Structure 1
């Protein structure tokens, strides 16, 4: 199912916005990493070995949001925004893992400002969410908080 959060998280990066804009006007000569990340977010499709703009992304995403009655972990999100962490530990861990998978790329390092920008897409309590992701070992960081990355634990299926 298309995720507007994944698309917004990807498009928050200048280089990915520029790459997406170039794809929209027909320029497909872009770095593979940018194309792959835009595809992961659902904005591009890979058709017969070529990247193409997913023309139906917006309509499908809106339709899915409107028809979907919140179930499972989605019941903790209002219009994709986290209303608070679940009290149930199992749900809290699953929700943190889901959000990490949507917002962060395995193997990539982020500054605290980048982490905050990505978390702002899904929460008004950015410090609380960041702290929970670190406390539950989904995000790893250096002691001074200057460098964050998706932990191996979070990347497990």
Structure 2
């Protein structure tokens, strides 16, 4: 039987997040161990998100924005902005460290952010794979027709 889970609100590095998973009544759904709705948050000039460097192991995260931008940096040497419609897919495997902030240019002005982040547990056979990071720009998506 399906159960509707109510999100709990958290402040994560200055970002308001509504976290559905994990929930006291449901730790995970399928492979999904965290499901976060980021924002919507509005920031005045000089303020914004500051999720400091932190490690991940044994999972993948998918980040998708509706509004705003996030500056992603990681221990693999990636340093780029995710913008609305882009997808960041980070697989930690045996370990990766990353931070989520905004560029100086974005933070210098009033701005907003809104998006989703899903954390997916890797199957046990993939838990120790090499970490990887893929960034797919919105413009690189193939449009599916209704005939496919």
Q: Normalising by structure 1, what TM-score?
A: 0.27
Higher percent of residues as helix: 1
Larger RCO, structures 1/2 (Cα 8 Å, 6+ apart): 2
Higher percent of residues as strand: 2
Q: Normalising by structure 2, what TM-score?
A: 0.28
